[in-house]
Amino acid sequence: MAKSVLITGAGSGFGRDAALELMANGQSVIAAVHHAEQIPELKSAASARGGTLRVEKLDLLSEADRQAAAGWDIDVLVNNAAIGEGGPISEIPLDLVRRVFEVNVFGTLALTQGVVRRMAERGHGRVIFVSSIAGLTAGSYLGAYAASKHALEGIAESMSNELAPHGVQVATLNPGPYGTGFNDEMVRSRDRWYDPARNFTRPQDMARLDERFATQYDPADLVKAMVDMVTADSGRYRNVHPQESEDLVRQRQRDAWTRTQPQPGDRGTG
Catalytic residue among 141, 145, 178, 194: 145
Give CA–CA dist 101/110, Å, rounded: 12
Q: Nearest CA to 240 among 130, 156, 138, 147? A: 130
Instruction: Reply yes or no on whether 145 is catalytic.
Output: yes
CB distance 138 to 147 below 8 Å: yes
Give CA–CA dist 207/191, Å, rounded: 12
Give CA–CA dist 135/239, Å, rounded: 12
Alpha helices in the chain (DSSP H): 13-24, 39-48, 63-70, 94-101, 108-122, 143-163, 182-188, 203-212, 219-231, 243-255
Q: List, by residue number, the catalytic residues.
A: 145
